[in-house]
Amino acid sequence: MEEVTKPAQGKRERETPEVTGSEEEIVKTTTVTTTTITTTTEIKQREEPIKVNKWNLSELKNACDDHVQKYLTTKAQYCQHHVHTDVKLFLGYVSCVFALVGGSYTYFTPFQESKDVTLVCVIAYLILNTLMVAYSLFVEKDTIFVGCPMGMDKNSEKYHKLIIHTTTKRYSDIYNITFEVKHKNDASRASSSINNSNVYTISRSYGGWFDVNGVLDTEIFEKVLAEGIRVALSGEKPHEQ
């Protein structure tokens, strides 16, 4: 008699569905998109609010100054020029070189022989530091931002330079921010024009932007910045706020 082999009970072969190339691409694309959305959400959630001591004018002004630069270089799409910072860094580095040379020379050379070199290095150090302070006081002044539109052709008629000045008087809660726009063709205009720049100043209390806990309301603050840039560029009257 022929033996009939029966399949073992409880063991069933599972059929694995075949995945085509197009289906694999769809799965990969969906995974990448989901990962990107999750990463973006996590980044937004990680952004900490700007919080300072509301009784400290220096902290309030520094927080506003920092956010002005952040807003202009990200949302307003301006490319910042670091001319003032570069000049001060250059003067500072050169003065440090003179200090290093003077100190090293006196370390390896007897004092009587190194007096002339030390004197030159000390005088040069003092002059360079004085120049750096003078540059900050009389050239840079209250300027916190200098830049131009990102990606705009320099030959374009709309090309311009945006300069931001900010001040806060002592014992005052008023933040003064001045928007100065210099157009490329300002130099070629009639010499009878004394001021070829569009200047617009906004003066507001810090209390309008910071809450009782010292947290900056970036949305309201950025609306003020956008309005200031618009008025300075167009020369139109500001909207009532």
Q: Is residue 161 part of a domain?
A: yes
CA distance linking residue 187 with residue 193, whole number of Å: 10
Q: Is residue 97 part of a domain?
A: yes
- 3-state SS of 44-75 is HHHCCCCECCCCCHHHHHHHHHHHHHHHHHHC
Tell whether 115 and 228 lie within a shared domain. no
Tell whether 67 and 91 lie within a shared domain. no
Tell whether 183 and 108 lie within a shared domain. no
Q: Does position 12 have pLDDT exceeding 50, yes or no?
A: no
CA distance linking residue 93 with residue 91, whole number of Å: 6
Q: How confident is the model at residue 202 (pLDDT cuts 50, 70, 90)?
A: very high
Asked whether 141 and 27 are in contact (CB, 8 A), the reply is no
Tell whether 171 and 134 lie within a shared domain. no
Q: Does position 43 have pLDDT exceeding 90, yes or no?
A: no
pTM (two decimals): 0.72
Q: Is residue 184 part of a domain?
A: yes
Tell whether 154 and 123 lie within a shared domain. no
Q: Is residue 24 part of a domain?
A: no
Q: Is residue 19 part of a domain?
A: no
pLDDT tens by residue, 66-115: 999 999 999 999 999 999 999 999 999 999 999 999 999 989 999 888 99
- Give just the sign of the alpha carbon dihedral 223, 229, 232, 233: negative
Tell whether 65 and 89 lie within a shared domain. no
Identify the weakest region by mean pLDDT among 131-140, 219-228, 231-240: 231-240
Residue 61, C-beta contacts closer than 8 angstroms, at least 6 positions apart:
166, 168, 175
Average pLDDT over every residue of 153-168: 90
Tell whether 72 and 115 lie within a shared domain. no
Tell whether 155 and 104 lie within a shared domain. no
CA dihedral (183, 189, 190, 193) in degrees, to 10, reads 0
Question: What is the domain range of residue 67?
Answer: 57-77+150-234
What is the tally of structural domains in the chain? 2
Q: Does position 216 have pLDDT exceeding 90, yes or no?
A: yes
Tell whether 70 and 89 lie within a shared domain. no
Q: How confident is the model at residue 63 (pLDDT cuts 50, 70, 90)?
A: very high
Q: Is residue 10 part of a domain?
A: no
For residue 143, the model assigns a pLDDT of: 96
Concatenating the DSSP letter of every residue in 167-233 gives E--TT--EEEEEEEEEEGGGTTS-TT-S--SEEEEEEEEGGGTB-TT-BB-HHHHHHHHHHHHHHHH
CA distance linking residue 200 with residue 235, whole number of Å: 8
Tell whether 164 and 92 lie within a shared domain. no
